[in-house]
Amino acid sequence: MAELALHHDWDLDQDPTAFVRASGQLKALDLAVEGAHCARCIAKIENGLKDQPGLKSARLNLSTGRLAILFSGDDVRARDYVRALRTLGYPASPYAPETETSAVSQEEKRLLRAMAVAGFATANVMLLSVSVWSGAGEMGEATQTLFHWISALIVLPTVAYSGRPFFGSAIRALKAKHVNMDVPISLAVFLACGLSLYETVIGKGHTYFDAAAMLLFFLLIGRYLDSRLRARAGQSARHLAAMQAAVAHRVESDGVISAIAARDVIPGDVLLVASGDKVPVDGQLLDPGAELDTSLVTGETVPRQAQTGEALYSGMVNLSHPFKMTATAAREDSLLAEITRLVEAGEQSRSRYVRLADRAANLYVPIVHTLAALTLVGWLVLTQDPRAAILNAIAVLLITCPCALALAVPAVQVVASGRLFKSGILIKSGDALERLAKADYAVFDKTGTLTRGKPRLINTEALPPDALELAAKLARTSRHPLSRAIADAAGMGDTADHLEEIAGGGLKGQIKGVAVAFGSASWMGVEEASSKDNEGFTQEAWLRYGHEAPVRFQFSDALRDDAQTALEGLRQRDFTLELLSGDRPHAAEAIADHLGLERWKGGLKPQDKIARIEALINEGYKPVMVGDGINDAPALAAAYVSISMGSASEVSRSAADLVIQGDHLARIPEAVDIARASQSRILENFALAALYNMIAIPLAVFGFVTPLVAAIAMSASSILVTLNALRLARK
């Protein structure tokens, strides 16, 4: 019978117990939560679950809607947590990153459709309203009543359809015994439509269908923009999830290789990683001489030679021959999964940031409700006329309705985003401008951010004649970063005969019957002689032609042309600067010295960068992180505000708040200027809305404003804040 109850209570594909996994001594469950829109929702969900049996922690990422739960006890407790969330007004289901994009897209489409319907209704009902207004005294009563009925037929279905995002949110808030901005919006729309319908039925007075439709249209614009920007902010975790290998090849005890899902790998399994494949889980190398792309961990583009027994991390790419490894962790406990969790934790901390609009809403809602209630009671006591009391109360709600407040921030964001786009800067987070305006500390990655992330041959003039072309005949066939640097320096040309690339060594072949080799010092049997110079720590490779003495080639990762300009611009704007790099400490020191950076750290892993960011925040700084690598994504998400380069990895671009197109670092100070100007425009808009309310509210309370005039005034206030936002478009 218990099983039958389970089948009735849960869809078998959605039963949360099937998605519970072990996490050390505890159980872990990830849920996709619907309906969370602000920092208050996070607090409500996390606090609402804290008294549940066995719960150890519950952390919600607002951008992705992912609720990470840790608990102890039986797996069946997962159902209790889902039921508790449903009671709080937030339906939840097991989290599936692969379906998250479609869910976000569907939400945006719903808002867009609702906005389109509200816009269509507003345009049409305004035509009817203008006819009624302009024909006052001349239009017959029957015609006027007909126009009112037509307006009702247009607006009432529109309100029922387009108002659902606000009505649903208001109902959830009231069920949880608190109010949000959607409560007065819903109340004003219902009262305006209800009174208008009553006035239409009795055949006298004014109707306010146009005000209800216009209000929904303006507010849906703001809600759609906010949803669009917030959805972009949560893409990084989905990209990271997609980077994890889905399949692993396990070597069975009898030597047979079988393909299994990567999530089924357990510690101790022997795995085979083919050339070009990703390492599926963390492990230990069993074979010698593997060459790996380790940019996930270090951010460096030059492949690393791994020896037997070395630690391997999920997400690394095998650039050489197939090798065997022993799994030391399950997929959910691997480095890439940890980076994903770090990114989400950083995004969550940023989503807890309370926007100016949220703070204004916290003051607005109780004040407006109190004024409207006092107006209703006061007029009932003084006049004993319910109709007059209701009309004046509705006028208060309409004239103070948060249309201007709701547009104060989105209007500025739209204008600022357009200006940033013209300057080659893309903004991806709804509150990024507010945070960038307050930032006071800039942290830079090295490789690919301050430098080009591409090795460059720097001793061309010191090379013997024909040495560059000999090396290029080998290098033109290789994808190794140093080989590409040689090919770029030499240009197009022929290739050597009998070419062979040795994993962990280099290239060898024959040119006119003479053996030629190009590769690392250890492979060539010469002493490594790398050193620092004013362009940063050099890398080297050696060329041997026949029995001639080997020739040393030096490479350096050149600084970006405008790196110094960008740093100086930030210094002028009172920023403190620091370099954090995954490269070797002496390489980071050389770049820091060249750029005049007194604060720097090298040899850092993703967790180290996060620790430094968190330390800065704890010290009271508001750091902006500028990076480009996959290993920078967690730090980008953890920073107060983050910027990525346009050529950066997709994960880093997704984790960042702003993306610099064309990789021009000098645009960062300009972005700071625009952000600070945007903050000023937003504050001015709030001041305009407050001034408007200070003038309009007393008039409405004392009966000098009809709901019709209130609706017009409400629209005028929206236009006013929009025009003020447009001032930002002027340089």
The answer as to whether 487 is a domain residue is yes
CATH of residue 26's domain is 3.30.70.100
pLDDT, position 553: 92
The answer as to whether 536 is a domain residue is yes
Same domain, 632 and 685: no
User: What's the angle, vertex CA 310, arms to CA 309 and CA 314, rounded to 5?
Assistant: 120
pLDDT, position 180: 67
Residue owning tokens 């022993």 = 326
The answer as to whether 343 is a domain residue is no
Segment 67-90 shows an average pLDDT of 86
Q: How far apart are CA 215 and CA 704, in angstroms?
A: 22
Same domain, 630 and 646: yes
* Helical segments of 384-466, H only: 386-399, 403-422, 432-438
Same domain, 65 and 130: no
Same domain, 445 and 585: yes
Residues 163-195 pLDDT 10s: 988 888 888 777 766 666 677 778 878 877 887
Same domain, 621 and 656: yes
pLDDT, position 619: 93
Residue-wise burial string across 699-718, b where 16 or more C-beta atoms lie within 10 A, e elsewhere: bbbebebbbbbbbbbbbebb
Whether the pLDDT of residue 59 is over 60: the answer is yes
- What are the DSSP E strand ranges found in 546-612? 551-559, 576-580, 600-601
Helix (H, G, I), strand (E, B) or coil at 625: strand
CB 164 within 8 A of CB 198: no
Name 451's Cβ contacts closer than 8 Å, sequence gap at least 6: 536, 557, 558, 559, 560, 563, 591
Q: How far apart are CA 591 and CA 609, in angstroms?
A: 18
Residues 288-335 pLDDT 10s: 777 887 765 555 556 677 778 888 887 788 887 788 999 988 877 776
The band of 516, judged by pLDDT with boundaries at 50, 70 and 90, is very high
Residues 357-403 pLDDT 10s: 556 656 666 777 788 889 889 988 888 888 788 778 877 776 765 55
**How is residue 222 written in tokens?**
């703001």
415-429, 449-463, 619-633: lowest mean pLDDT where? 415-429
CB 298 within 8 A of CB 602: no
Same domain, 114 and 136: yes
Residues 393-403 pLDDT 10s: 877 776 765 55
pLDDT, position 39: 57
**How is residue 326 written in tokens?**
């022993």
Q: How far apart are CA 518 and CA 483, in angstroms?
A: 9
Which comes out higher in pLDDT, residue 90 or 722? Answer: 90
Select which of 269, 282, 293, 445 is catalytic.
Answer: 445
Same domain, 444 and 592: yes
Segment 662-691 shows an average pLDDT of 84
Same domain, 362 and 430: no
* Helical segments of 135-249, H only: 141-162, 164-175, 182-202, 209-233, 235-243
The answer as to whether 21 is a domain residue is yes
Does the model's pTM come out above 0.75? no
Last residue of a domain, one of 233, 266, 300: 233
The answer as to whether 668 is a domain residue is yes
Most confident of 51-60, 106-115, 664-673: 664-673
**How is residue 724 written in tokens?**
């003020």
The answer as to whether 349 is a domain residue is no
Q: How far apart are CA 86 and CA 599, in angstroms?
A: 49
Whether the pLDDT of residue 234 is over 50: the answer is no
Segment 425-449 shows an average pLDDT of 83
CB 111 within 8 A of CB 217: no
Q: How far apart are CA 378 and CA 128, in angstroms?
A: 34
Residue 258 burial (C-beta neighbours within 10 Å; 0-12, 13-18, 19+): exposed
Segment 517-537 shows an average pLDDT of 67
Q: How far apart are CA 270 and CA 324, in angstroms?
A: 7
- Amino acid letter at 349? S
Which comes out higher in pLDDT, residue 579 or 1? Answer: 579
Task: Report how far apart, in Å, the C-alpha atoms of 41 and of each of 35, 47, 307, 434, 532 are.
Answer: 8, 10, 50, 20, 53
CB 218 within 8 A of CB 407: yes
Q: How far apart are CA 496 and CA 545, in angstroms?
A: 12
Percentage, residues of the chain above pLDDT 70: 77
Q: How far apart are CA 395 and CA 698, in angstroms?
A: 11
CB 191 within 8 A of CB 397: yes
DSSP 278: B
Mark whether 445 is an active-site residue.
Answer: yes
Structural domain span for residue 296 = 246-331
Same domain, 302 and 276: yes
Last residue of a domain, one of 233, 263, 298: 233
Percentage, residues of the chain above pLDDT 90: 11
CB 628 within 8 A of CB 301: no
- Amino acid letter at 223? R
Q: How far apart are CA 156 and CA 676, in angstroms?
A: 42
Whether the pLDDT of residue 345 is over 80: the answer is no
348-352, 683-687, 696-700: lowest mean pLDDT where? 348-352
**How is residue 346 written in tokens?**
């950083």
The answer as to whether 461 is a domain residue is yes
Task: Please name which of 126, 131, 160, 148 lies closest in space to residue 198, comparing C-alpha atoms.
Answer: 148
64-68, 223-227, 579-583: lowest mean pLDDT where? 223-227
What are the phi and psi torsion angles at 389 (to 5°)? -65, -45
The answer as to whether 351 is a domain residue is no
pLDDT, position 403: 59
Last residue of a domain, one of 504, 523, 558: 558
Q: How far apart are CA 89 and CA 36, in angstroms?
A: 10
Q: How far apart are CA 540 and CA 532, in angstroms?
A: 12
The tally of domains found in the chain comes to: 6
Helix (H, G, I), strand (E, B) or coil at 643: strand
Same domain, 19 and 53: yes
CATH of residue 322's domain is 2.70.150.10
End-to-end CA distance of the chain: 72
Same domain, 448 and 383: no
Helix (H, G, I), strand (E, B) or coil at 135: coil
Segment 51-78 shows an average pLDDT of 82
Same domain, 413 and 433: no
Q: How far apart are CA 555 and CA 538, in angstroms?
A: 5
CB 95 within 8 A of CB 55: no
| Mean pLDDT value across the chain | 78
**How is residue 254 written in tokens?**
């009898």
User: What's the angle, vertex CA 71, arms to CA 65 and CA 73, rounded to 5?
Assistant: 140
pLDDT, position 15: 73
Q: How far apart are CA 324 and CA 271, in angstroms?
A: 6
The band of 270, judged by pLDDT with boundaries at 50, 70 and 90, is very high
Residues 481-494 pLDDT 10s: 788 889 888 888 88
Residue owning tokens 């980076």 = 339
